[in-house]
Each structure stands twice: as structure tokens, then as C-alpha cells.
Amino acid sequence: METLETMKGPVLKVGIEDKVEPSKALVFGLQHVLAMFGATVTVPLVVGGAVGLSGSEIALMIQAVLLAMGIATLLQTTIGSRYPIVQGSSFAFIPGLIAIGSSLGMAAVQGALIVGGLIEAAIGWLGIIGKVRKLFTPLVTGVTITLIGFSLADVAVKNFFNFYADPSGGTIARATLVAVITFLTTVMVALRAKGSLKAMPVVVGAAVGYLVSVPLGLTDFGLVKSLPIVSVPRPFPWGEPIFDTTAIVLLLFAFMVSIIESVGDYHAIAAVTGSEVTGKHIARGIGSEGLACSIAGLLGACGTTSYSENIGVVALTKVGSRYVVQIGAVILILLSLVPKFGGVLASMPAPVLGGLTLALYGMISVTGLRLIKERVEFNDRNTLILAAALIAGLGAPQLPAEFLAAFPKIVASILESGMAVGALTAIVLDRLL
């Protein structure tokens, strides 16, 4: 039987089903794009850099991401939950995407996203979501989210010092200066800015860091000049997809985290808009996210999830119209058709990303720790599970590659993912103890 929760929240100026005049809808929609833009573009930039993609390939990936997230948002607001929710690139997928892309190639990333997305869609539309949610208690979810941030620590620091682009260390001084300025700008905007500017610390930090890096010679605009003005992203940009079992299993843990995050966001947007939350809303929402992830795989993009940042925009503006969010989705799709725009973003120096993600990735871990603090009782049982899961999740990825070669391939792939190891440890112990 379908359960129903009625959430009472702030009174909206514009309701979920209300229409807005075109000029205002365009402004409100653009605001949603700006709120999610920095985070959603950071994912392909980080993954592309860590996997070793060229500038033109990263630009291609950004194009695909913008198109996929626009389509995902349209799906969410029409056949999905029908809440005013914006879909963007999920940080939960970054460790898995880097691991798969580095070892098996981007074609295997495509295959894992396609299959994983179909599984997520089935979990939603077939009503399996209730049983899956039971496995991810606040303790398990908290550990998993915490380990996502921890697993990205080396990526943030390597970008900070420009390691991927210059492993010899010749640009350390300039890279550090740019990264520090980017970091301080981002933090100051997040803590001191007011109004709508406060909701865009990543965008402002990236812009300032980018501008500082130009006179320091860390930015190359050759890529921008070589790209066409208009181009339509094509399916399977990384070649025919590879459906590798280990890659699919590895990425399923990211899908599970994304599902839990999204379910929480559905409740949050319902509270903000004063709407009801039903099992039907959740099932349709997760189903549409799964379909969107498969489409992202077809386009060579990254996994998608609902964005909490945009729920904050709805709460701030009191404009909850899903039609406004759909305008934002159309803007994303239009941006995806302009390769030069993607090229500008792809030419962003690694130290700028390092400055942005130094705090950003840390905040992911802090979110997980806060969830544990607020929702988990610190008795002997839970403390033991938490301790074992964190140590297992932090320690397993440190195993040398030559030692991992002794394990079956699928086991070795899981051991390389701190998030997967920590989640599995927490789930098993939580069921047994």
C-alpha cells in the first residue's frame, strides 16, 4: 500500500504547476543553471583530467554532460517525480568513473552507466526502491558519503599543485598561487557574500581563478580556437560501449548512493514547496534518474542525481514552478550545442579545480559525518561498525597493484574503491550484528 507523507513548508509565491511569463521564466531558469553549473561541470573536468583525456576530449565530455543533464531534468519534471528538481552530475560517481576510465577506458564507462542506469530505473519503476533503502541505514549512508570525499582527496591535491599537467613540478609556484586565490575566493563568497551571489561560490571562484591563471601562462586558448561554434553531440563518442562486469558492479555502489541522496532531496523539495511525498513520487523519480543515467552513458557523459543546491534556490526565491526548471533544462541543452563554450571550460587550469575542490570534496565527507552524528546512536555496536567500515574503506585502495593482481578481477576492482569497500563492510556488519 502506498504511504503518504504531507510536508508543510514555506508558502510559495509560484506553485509547482503555476506558469510564469516567458521573460521571468528565462531569468528564473538561468538562475537554476548558475546554481548547479559549477558543480556539474567540475565532474567531467576532474574525471577527464584524472583519466588522461586531451583538452578536446574533455570539451566533448562537457558538451555531453550539459546535454545529458538538460534531458535528465526534463525527464524528472515530466515523467519523473514532477517536482521542480534540477538534475546534475553526481560526485558519487567520480571515484568509480576514474577507476574504470583509467583501467578499462571510457568505452567501459559508457557501458557501466548504461547498464547501471537500467538497473536503477528498474529499482524505481518496479517498486524495489523500498527494499534497497532498507540496506542503506543512516550509518551505512553516512560511512559511504564520508568515504566518497576521502577517496577524492588525492585528486584535489594533485590538481592543486598541477601534478596531472606538469608532474615534473616546474609550475608549482604559479599553480599554488592560482589554487590559493581560487580557494580563498570560493570560501569568502560562501561565507561572506549576500543575496544570490552567496549561492554561487563555485562559479565565482572558478571565474576569478581562471582570470588570474591567464597572465601566469597556465591557460591555453588554442583548443577554443580550433573548435566549431555549433555542433550536436553524437552518441558513443568513446567508441562502441564495453559491458564489463567488474565495471558495472563497481559503479553500482555509486548508483546506490545517488538513489539515497535523491530520495532525501524529494523529501526536501516537498517540505520547501508544501507538497506531498508518496511512494509513487519516489518510484517515478528514481526510475527517471535511472533512464537519464543510461542516456548519459549513450552520450558519453557522467551519472546524474538531483541537486540540493537548486532546492535551496526554490526555498530562497519561493518560485517552485517546474516549468521554470524546464526552462533551465532547455538552457543547458542549448549550451551543449556550442563546442567553443565547452572548450573554454575544458581549458580551465588544474590548479583552479584544485582550489575549488579542496573544500568541495571535504564538504562531501563532512556531510557524511554530520549525517552520522545526527542520525546514528554512538553505542558499542554502531561505533564498531563505523570504525571497521572507515578503516576498510580507507585502507583497501592503498593495496599495491601487483598484490591486487592475485585477486579475481571483480574483487580487485571493488578493493580499489574505498567507497565500495566501506559500504559493503557497513552493510554486512549492520545486517549481522
Which of these, 417, 351, 354, 429, lies nearest to 96 by C-alpha position? 417
* Rounded Cα–Cα distance for residues 390 and 418 (Å): 9
Which of these, 244, 234, 170, 206, lies nearest to 345 by C-alpha position? 206
- Cα separations (Å) of 392 from 114, 395, 405, 421? 29, 5, 19, 6
Higher per-residue confidence, 15 vs 395 = 395
Mean pLDDT in residue range 294-302? 95
Q: What is the largest CA-CA distance in the chain?
A: 64
**Where do runs of H (alpha helix) occur along 274-398?**
279-299, 308-317, 322-336, 339-346, 350-375, 380-395
What is the average pLDDT score of the chain?
86
**pLDDT tens digits for 347-383?**
888 898 888 888 777 777 887 888 888 889 999 999 9
For residue 108, pLDDT over 90 is answered with yes
Which of these, 365, 429, 396, lies nearest to 153 by C-alpha position? 365
**pLDDT tens digits for 238-293?**
999 999 998 999 898 889 888 877 887 887 788 778 888 788 888 999 999 999 99
Q: What is the pTM of this model?
A: 0.78
Residue identified by cell 553524437 is: 234
- Supply the pLDDT for residue 290: 96
Name the residue ranges covered by the structural domains of the chain. Answer: 22-374
With H, G, I as helix, E, B as strand and everything else as coil, classify residue 229.
coil
For residue 6, pLDDT over 60 is answered with no
> Per the structure block, which three cell numbers stand in for 125?
519503476
